[in-house]
């Protein structure tokens, strides 16, 4: 899993996050408007996400989720969830991605079937849509390992602010959503908070893969190798464009020191 999502545990209001509770509830806080999806209790989460919008009824929706959480959870956990929801409501203020100009922006994303054993291993982050916690990372890579219980140990490695900095490591636990063919994962930040990660493309040789976020505010291009030629990069980016992404927001992640400062590559310490 890419690094920025690790910081949602202390910054829910800064990045738009579709957040899942362990009982299957779902809520998403937005600036000005709220995008909603069906709430599934004890059933697989859908891989189709509607673009239904409504007025800012965040507080009421958060109250609904807290009411659902009240069943089977201790008072202490309820208090923690209430604090989480309240903080999110109070701090959502001005956050949110810029408007997506792609005419296919509201077309739902679809996952692709994945051969999980073949999908495991090391993946380099070639490009992403950067946001506050992923900015300034270089040499980023993910390493996935399939466990005997069917879950996935998800490790992220990267260097913050430059190649001369020590490598950082973050670990997550991912679960494959039943019925998704291995293409949708629920990435656990901490109990009971999860975020959704969608595999929307993997090439036949499992050399490249595209990871998406349901509302298209985040996206990643992964490769088995740390470098990628321009033609392949443009071809993969065009796939995101066809899915309704604003591809102008993608920035290539430097994997080698000589890539720093090159056109299209992110520059540590430079806000974009």
Domain boundaries 116-259, corresponding CATH code:
2.40.128.20
Whole-number Å distance between alpha carbons of 34 and 30: 5
CB atoms near residue 238 (< 10 Å): 11
**Of 93-107, 142-156, 166-180, 182-196, minimum mean pLDDT range:** 93-107
CB atoms near residue 77 (< 10 Å): 14
CB atoms near residue 177 (< 10 Å): 21
* Whole-model pTM over 0.85: no
Cα distances (angstroms) measured from residue 115 to each of 31, 181, 199, 266:
37, 8, 11, 32
The domain ranges of the chain are 3-91, 116-259
Burial of 194: CB neighbours in 10 Å, binned 0-12, 13-18, 19+: buried
Per-residue pLDDT, averaged over 211-215, amounts to 95
Q: Is residue 252 predicted with pLDDT exceeding 50?
A: yes
Q: Is residue 54 predicted with pLDDT exceeding 90?
A: no
Whole-number Å distance between alpha carbons of 186 and 17: 13
- pLDDT bin (cut points 50, 70, 90) of residue 193 is confident
């Amino acid at each position: 899993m890419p690094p920025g999502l690790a910081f949602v545990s202390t910054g829910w209001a800064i990045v738009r996050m579709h957040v899942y509770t362990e009982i299957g509830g779902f809520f998403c806080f937005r600036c000005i408007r709220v995008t909603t999806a069906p709430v599934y209790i004890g059933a697989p989460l859908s891989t189709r996400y509607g673009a239904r919008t409504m007025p800012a009824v965040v507080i009421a929706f958060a109250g609904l989720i807290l009411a659902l959480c009240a069943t089977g959870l201790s008072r202490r956990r309820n208090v923690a969830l209430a604090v989480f929801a309240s903080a999110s409501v109070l701090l959502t203020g001005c956050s949110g991605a810029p408007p997506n100009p792609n005419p296919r922006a509201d077309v739902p994303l679809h996952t692709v079937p994945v051969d999980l054993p073949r999908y495991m291993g090391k993946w380099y982050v070639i490009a992403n849509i950067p946001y506050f916690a992923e900015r300034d990372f270089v040499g980023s890579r993910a390493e996935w390992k399939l466990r005997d219980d069917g879950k996935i140990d998800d490790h992220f490695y990267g260097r913050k602010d430059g190649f001369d900095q020590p490598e950082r490591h973050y670990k997550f636990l991912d679960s494959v959503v039943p019925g998704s063919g291995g293409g949708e994962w629920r990435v656990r930040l901490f109990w009971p908070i999860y975020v959704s990660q969608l595999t929307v493309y993997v090439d036949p040789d499992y050399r490249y893969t595209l990871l998406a976020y349901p509302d298209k505010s985040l996206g990643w291009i992964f490769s088995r190798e740390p470098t990628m030629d321009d033609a392949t990069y443009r071809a993969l980016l065009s796939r995101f464009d066809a899915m309704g992404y604003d591809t102008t927001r993608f920035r290539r992640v430097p994997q080698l020191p000589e890539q720093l400062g090159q056109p299209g590559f992110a520059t540590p310490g430079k806000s974009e």
